[in-house]
Structure 1
Amino acid sequence: MLNRLSRPAVRLVERWLPDAYLLVLLLTLVAATAAMLVERQTPLAVLRMWGGGFWELLAFSMQMLLVLVTGFMLASTPPVKHGLQWLAKLARGPGMAIVLVSLVSLTASWINWGFGLVVGALFARELAAQVRVDYRLLVASAYSGFVVWHGGLAGSIPLTIATEGHFMAGAMGVVPTSQTIFAFYNLAIVALLFVLVPLVNRWMLPAPEESVFHRPGSGHSDGKPVPPPQGPRQPADRLEDSRLLAWLVGLAGIGFLVDHFIGGGGLNLNIVNFGFLMLAIVLHGTPRRLLASLQLAIKGGAGIVIQFPFYAGIMAIMVKSGLAATLSQSFVSVADADTLPFWSFIAGGVLNVFVPSGGGQWAVQAPIMVPAAEALGADVAKVAMGVAWGDAWTNLIQPFWALPMLALAGLKARDIMGFCLIQLVVTGVVIGGCLLLL
């Protein structure tokens, strides 16, 4: 049944979903128009909000570009390449490949969202090289695992409210992760998704005659040595082939990571990128090989560079115009103590299409949701997790977070979003049902 349902969804998305860059332009116009019509903002005021916020994600854009680049460089090292090949051999057929990539992505995303995006894409590439399976669904399955990230160990909202002195501490206090990440209802959602997401992906597998097969180009990712330049060897050439220089720097970086974790430090995006880079430096062995893999990796980063500033502009319009607050308040107005976590989830999901940032969403919704929870007598920790799950849920149809994975996989958003649309419906029922019933 899901296979039959996925066909029209895939055709619909392939026909009507524009390129991710065109989509962000359309979202910009929608947000600007809504700010003028709903919030009565003047065109000049909206223009100033948009332009003033356009560059507010520069640091984050660089982090996401490094997720792509460092992940690719690490995957192109011989040890990692061989490890992915060994793991891919566990898939005896297309159905097993879909289930395996889903489980790997779910696990990695639950640990850390940046780690999950890179690992899922790289494993999908390796599976495509060894198993004849629909490549669109394979990458969509890798991306669908991302849905659990905000209920996992690196969820930005539960970690924020568990931190002393967070910006809502005066209203809600410090909420330990035992009431959010490790609460029964949250673990139940995660467990159900670990079962259903791989099964739904497997049930959507097209017949061979309807599948689209693709073997990603290996380039230097096959681990073969990069040939040295022709002609006399200069001192600079010998430095580029120096393993000692690479190992001194790379091992020092690994030493920093060991000290970081021994000292109680956790995973975040900077640590993931730092770890990927240092391991890539050590495992490539020479600067020449590392730079060769960098040249290949950087080609896929154009979408991140050009699109993330536009999303920063949209976020500025939504927040500064009051549109995001109005949207959140409209859902709160129909809630009671039992249903507020559910409506927080729905509000978070809708807002995430325009403000695809967990921390950004919480900054907008917390001043509305927390007082509403206190007034209604709702569980404030569960309301916060409702917002968190809403943010994670509609990432399934928001290309913002898919850009690094799509760049690594060599696909466009329209190639995978039809399958993700089916997952959006299934996971929405599961998450929303658990927030209502548990």
Structure 2
Amino acid sequence: MLRILSRPATRLVERWLPDPFIFVLILTLVAAIAAIVSEGSSPVALVEMWGSGFWELLEFSMQMLLVLVTGFILASSPPVRRILASIAGLASGPGSAIILVSLVSLAASWLNWGFGLVVGAIFAKELARQIRVDYRLLVAAAYSGFVIWHGGLSGSIPLTIATEGHFTSDQIGVIPTSQTIFSVWNLAIVIALVIAVPLVNRLMLPLEHEQVLVDPALLKDVGDTPHPVSAMTPAERLEHSSVLTWLIGIPGLVWLGLYIIGGGGINLNVVNFLFLFAGMVCHGTPRNLLNALDEGVRGGAGIVIQFPFYAGIMAIMTQSGLAASLSEWFVSISTTETLPFWSFISAGIVNIFVPSGGGQWAVQAPVMLPAAEALGADISRVAMAVAWGDAWTNLLQPFWALPMLGIAGLRARDIMGFCVVQLLITGIIIGTLLYLL
């Protein structure tokens, strides 16, 4: 049934889903028109909001570009390639390959969302080198594991409200992760998704004559450059010497170890730091590192050009009051029992326009928290419902798929048909468990 369902979904998306850059331009117009109609914002005011927020994600854009580049550097190093090849060898056929990449992506995304995006893409490429399987579904399966990230260790909303002095601490205090990430009901959602996501991906596997295969030769990563046999210039000796990378790479890893031992938290900068310095050590020489850098940076064009436009959309949604109005409407139809469910749905819709967990919480918290207090609902459940809604519609929003697509060499329309099916299934699972548990 799921294979049959995925066929029209894939055809529809391949025909009608434009390039992610066109998608963000359309979203900009939709957000602007909605703000004019529902909030009474003037076109001039909207242009001012849009322009003032356009560059607000510059730091985050650079972080995301580095997630792609440093992750590629590490994953393309000889030691990591051998590890991934060994794990990929566990797959005995197309079906087991789909299940394996789903599980690896789910586990990596639960640990850290940036790590999950990179590892999932690299592992999908490694599996495609060894197994003849539909490459679109393989990459879609890797991306579908990302749906779990906001219920995991790097979830920005649960980590925010567990931090002393967070922006709503005067209202709700500090809520420990034992009541959010590690609560029984949240772990139940995680376990349900770990079971369902690989199974759904496996059941969507097209028949053999319908599969889109890829030539393994096209997936070959940049290789390490052997030391030239002929005499080298002093500059070439420096490029091919492991001394420099070890003298800088090892102290970098030592600092990271001391940081973590000292109680430092895992964030995007720490992940990028790990990828970069571990990649330096694993590649051995500056020349090998630079070869991997040249290869990895090619997939980052979408991030560079699109993230500023999403920052502009976020400014329109937040400054016009459109995001708050949308949240307030869902609150108005909620009861004590249904508020987590409707918080999940509203967050899923807002996430299409504001694809940032932290930014979305800043928009929705002023609406959801007073509603939870007035209705007597569990604040930790409402907060996690917003978190799950933010993660859920990433299956439809190509914003977060850009790093993975850059590594895999695919377009958004190649994988989103399969992701739409996962969107429906995971939405039912998460929404039902948020209501029942």
- Whether TM-score is above 0.5 comes out as yes
Instruction: Report the count of equivalent residues.
Output: 437
Matches within 5 A, 1:19-418: 19-215=19-215, 221=221, 223-226=223-226, 228=228, 233-418=232-417
Query: What letter is aligned with 2:333?
Result: V
**Which segment drifts farther, 46-55 or 207-216?**
207-216
Which residue pairs with 2:435 in the alignment? Answer: 436
Deviation at 1:296, TM superposition (A): 0.8
CA contact (8 A) 1:81 1:222 kept: no
Distance 2:20 2:403 in 1: 12
CA contact (8 A) 2:225 2:287 kept: no
Distance 1:101 1:108 in 2: 10
Deviation at 1:214, TM superposition (A): 1.2
Q: Flag the 1:381–1:122 CA change in 2: closer, same or farther, 3 A.
A: same
Deviation at 1:234, TM superposition (A): 2.3
Distance 1:149 1:215 in 2: 31
Deviation at 1:178, TM superposition (A): 1.0
Q: Flag the 1:249–1:220 CA change in 2: closer, same or farther, 3 A.
A: farther
CA offsets, 1:388-411, max 9 Å, x none? 000000000100000000000000
Distance 1:13 1:220 in 2: 28
Deviation at 1:425, TM superposition (A): 0.5
Query: What letter is aligned with 1:165?
Result: G
Query: What letter is aligned with 2:279?
Result: A
TM-score norm. by structure 1 comes to 0.98
Distance 2:226 2:418 in 1: 39
Distance 1:215 1:388 in 2: 39
Deviation at 1:242, TM superposition (A): 1.2
Distance 1:359 1:151 in 2: 14
Q: Secondary structure at the match of 2:55?
A: coil
Q: Flag the 1:88–1:220 CA change in 2: closer, same or farther, 3 A.
A: closer
Distance 1:434 1:61 in 2: 34
Deviation at 1:206, TM superposition (A): 0.2
Distance 2:183 2:72 in 1: 35
Deviation at 1:233, TM superposition (A): 2.7
Distance 1:250 1:218 in 2: 31
Deviation at 1:226, TM superposition (A): 4.5
Question: RMSD over aligned Cα, in angstroms?
Answer: 1.3
CA offsets, 1:237-272, max 9 Å, x none? 111111111101000111011101111123211111
CA contact (8 A) 1:75 1:221 kept: no
Distance 1:229 1:42 in 2: 69
**Which segment drifts farther, 94-103 or 72-81?**
72-81
CA contact (8 A) 2:58 2:308 kept: yes
Distance 2:42 2:151 in 1: 39
Deviation at 1:282, TM superposition (A): 0.7
TM-score norm. by structure 2 comes to 0.98
Which residue pairs with 2:11 in the alignment? Answer: 11
CA offsets, 1:19-75, max 9 Å, x none? 001000000010111111111111110001111100000000000000110111112
Deviation at 1:308, TM superposition (A): 0.3
Q: Secondary structure at the match of 1:366?
A: helix
CA offsets, 1:186-223, max 9 Å, x none? 00000000000000000000011100011455687364
Q: Which runs of 4+ in 1 moved over 2 A?
A: 215-230
List alignment gaps of at least 5 residues for structure 1: none
Q: Flag the 1:345–1:219 CA change in 2: closer, same or farther, 3 A.
A: closer
Deviation at 1:227, TM superposition (A): 5.9
Distance 1:243 1:224 in 2: 13
Percent identity over paired residues = 67
CA contact (8 A) 2:77 2:283 kept: yes
List alignment gaps of at least 5 residues for structure 2: none
Q: Secondary structure at the match of 2:399?
A: helix
CA offsets, 1:107-139, max 9 Å, x none? 000000000000000000000000000000000
CA contact (8 A) 1:135 1:214 kept: yes
**Which segment drifts farther, 17-26 or 215-224?**
215-224
CA contact (8 A) 1:337 1:377 kept: yes
CA contact (8 A) 1:246 1:286 kept: yes
Q: Flag the 1:180–1:174 CA change in 2: closer, same or farther, 3 A.
A: same
CA contact (8 A) 2:125 2:219 kept: no
Q: Flag the 1:10–1:268 CA change in 2: closer, same or farther, 3 A.
A: same
Q: Flag the 1:233–1:219 CA change in 2: closer, same or farther, 3 A.
A: farther
Query: What letter is aligned with 1:163?
Result: T
